[in-house]
Amino acid sequence: MYQALYRKYRPQTFDDVVGQSSIVKVLKNSIEQHKFCHAYMFFGSRGTGKTSLSKIFAKAINCLEPIDGNPCGKCNNCLAASEKECVDILEIDAASNNGVDEIRELRNKINLVPAELKYKVYIIDEVHMLSIGAFNALLKTLEEPPKHAVFILATTDPQKVPETIISRCQCFSFQRISTDMLIRRLEYVCNCENIKIDSEVLKEIAISADGGMRDSLGMLDKLSSYTDELITMDTYTELNGLITKKDLKMFSDYIFSCNFKNVLSQIAQFNDSGKNLIQIISQFMYYLRDLLVDYYTNFKSCDYDIILVERLITIINEKMFDIKKSGNPKIYIEILLLNFMSSISDDDAPSKENKIISNTGKHISSYETNVEAPNAAQESITLPDNKFDINDSQIEKKDFIRDTINSDNKDCSTLRSVGDILNLEEIMTIRINNAFALANKQILAQEVRNFSVLNDYTFDQQIGYLVCEILNSKFRVASEDIIVLSYEYDSIVQQNLDHLEQMEDVYSKLTGSSKKFAIITDKRWDELKAEYISRLKNGEHYEIKDEPEKQFKKEETNDIMLNDATSIFGDIVEFD
């Protein structure tokens, strides 16, 4: 009978295990020093070696003559442990044996001495599936097990395991296996099995496996069964419902040239031919990512605006979870790409200000508002309609505000970069201090309501990117003069600090709320909030501090004659 590749090439010793070197080292040392524990917990994503290492460890602690911590594979104990009928190494599937009765039966039998081996090893797979009653029944056994018993608990979801169980185990976190390691292992298997395959296909298999060895070997098994000839990218894409690089290039051309008709036609064609649109959009994201890598690391030219490529990757990556959970992925993907193309299109069509209308008739953004307030509701994305529930007065008001911003003396494009402010960090610290001193929940609630105004301008060519930067933040605290915003990554904070004055100006003009912004990371916010709570408990209060004037770097002139003359003759030089 044919044996699947993932079973045939399952590791038999610690040295065969791929990608978990630190865990292997600890377990081997514990075998050599005879210092292994009574209970272990292995957790990590699927296909990373949890069950394989459990079996190797069970065999190693029972081996009569281990070699450098590895089971010898030749002694009577090793041979007995390799048999499926071995009664001293028990594998229990917690998904199907998750009741109290099963665990109680285990407890009743655990005191029996091993029949053949030195230790009885209980491998409980997917332990997070046990019921609360079963965990409670297991708890006492883990706390005081007999000397001849060893437990190995394996799970992909450690958050569901009670802390009382985890605290009684020695825990190991299994990492996803790197793409390079997967490729090397696949090459080894292909050589052993005489499988002819392109290196490009091996790379695609490793990427799609997402760090799982079992998934990558399963895909290789499927491809080798599909054809005895050379396995090419065409074979891979055909078998997995994906598209070729030629199709990806054409699809990219349509999107970045804002060819709405061809984009919709192409998506419909993919769907009608039975392709998995979720896999295709993921493949498309990786294709764009490769363009970025080639551009920045290999210095290859890109056919598209590199900023737009980065932006589209970010949008798709942020929405992948929603795409997968959507009731109709085709419609969601269509709307997502139409929104992106609309935002970069140069056409000044009237409908550009009304890209997506919800069932309630309110305009919503393609970006999710992420506000830390109890009443901040998010509306769902729906199909665009030819009829927009926005009256003429609303459109006139929006046009008036936009024209005011664009014609103002303090135009967004002419404001000086905040990166030129020498004392920026001091200013941010004082603003946060003053916001805490005068924090007001009513003001915060009002600023949250202002988001409904901002949503109307996300597709504006002049100020849309600034509005989206504000909408992507988390509102943390607000006072009469200051709003504290936070972002997940420090790089985003630095990027938005460069647009600080523009963001403040746009927010003031659109909402009528003249506020200064303080921008920090989510991590920094957590630290400041903990400090704030601690000070309140100790009866300490924040005192208002005066914000210093901004100190800008001196602007250097680009006049070559002036620079050279000044460097030679100093301040005596005068130019008419």
Model confidence over 98-122: pLDDT tens digits? Answer: 677 777 878 778 888 888 888 888 8
- Can you spell out the DSSP letters for 510-537? HHS---EEEEEEHHHHHHHHHHHHHHHH
* Residues 485, 447: Cα–Cα separation, whole Å: 12
Taking alpha carbons only, the member of 457, 459, 574 closest to residue 507 is 457
Where is pLDDT greater, at 521 or 358?
521
Would you state the pLDDT for residue 250? 93
* Residues 490, 520: Cα–Cα separation, whole Å: 8
Taking alpha carbons only, the member of 520, 531, 528, 530 closest to residue 489 is 520
* Residues 326, 332: Cα–Cα separation, whole Å: 7
Residue 432 has pLDDT above 60, yes or no: yes
Torsion sign, CA atoms 258, 262, 266, 272: positive
Asked if 213 and 177 touch (Cβ cutoff 8 Å), the reply is yes
Largest CA distance in the chain: 104
What are the C-alpha distances in Å from 359 to residues 58, 95, 363, 454? 59, 42, 10, 19
Q: What is the pLDDT of residues 148-176, one digit of tens each?
A: 888 999 988 888 888 888 888 889 988 88
Taking alpha carbons only, the member of 208, 189, 192 closest to residue 200 is 208
* Residues 205, 217: Cα–Cα separation, whole Å: 9
What percent of the chain has a predicted confidence (pLDDT) above 70?
82
Bridge partners for 350 per DSSP? none
Q: Where are the domains of the chain?
A: 5-174, 181-344, 358-576
Q: What is the pLDDT of residues 58-98, one digit of tens each?
A: 888 888 888 888 888 888 888 888 887 788 888 888 877 76
What percent of the chain has a predicted confidence (pLDDT) above 90?
8
Strands 482-487 and 474-478: what pairing?
antiparallel
* Residues 407, 424: Cα–Cα separation, whole Å: 28
Taking alpha carbons only, the member of 4, 19, 15 closest to residue 212 is 19
Asked if 241 and 282 touch (Cβ cutoff 8 Å), the reply is no
Question: Token pair of 328, please?
Answer: 């109709």
Quick check: helix, strand or coil at residue 97?
coil
Strands 482-487 and 89-93: what pairing?
unpaired
* CATH number belonging to domain 5-174: 3.40.50.300
Taking alpha carbons only, the member of 267, 260, 197, 204 closest to residue 232 is 197
Would you state the pLDDT for residue 167? 87
Taking alpha carbons only, the member of 270, 266, 240, 244 closest to residue 254 is 266
What are residue 494's phi and psi, to 5 degrees?
-65, -40
Place of tokens 């298999």: 205
Would you state the pLDDT for residue 228? 80
Q: Range with the lowest mean pLDDT among 313-317, 407-411, 431-435?
A: 407-411
Asked if 266 and 253 touch (Cβ cutoff 8 Å), the reply is no
Confidence at 3, pLDDT banded by 50, 70, 90:
confident
Asked if 358 and 382 touch (Cβ cutoff 8 Å), the reply is yes
Would you state the pLDDT for residue 267? 93
Would you state the pLDDT for residue 565? 53
Q: At what angle do helices 392-407 and 500-511 cross, to 10 degrees?
A: 150
Quick check: helix, strand or coil at residue 48?
coil
Determine the average pLDDT of the residues in 12-29.
88
Taking alpha carbons only, the member of 190, 185, 186 closest to residue 20 is 185
- Can you spell out the DSSP letters for 426-447? HHHHHHHHHHHHT--HHHHHHH
Question: Token pair of 131, please?
Answer: 């019921």
Give the list of residues 6+ apart from residue 461 with CB closer than 8 angstroms, or none.
none
What are the C-alpha distances in Å from 294 to residues 202, 312, 314, 404? 20, 17, 17, 42
Determine the average pLDDT of the residues in 286-303.
88
pTM of the model: 0.55
Residue 375 has pLDDT above 50, yes or no: no
What are the C-alpha distances in Å from 390 to residues 115, 121, 386? 80, 69, 12
Give the list of residues 6+ apart from residue 339 with CB closer than 8 angstroms, or none.
355, 356, 366, 459
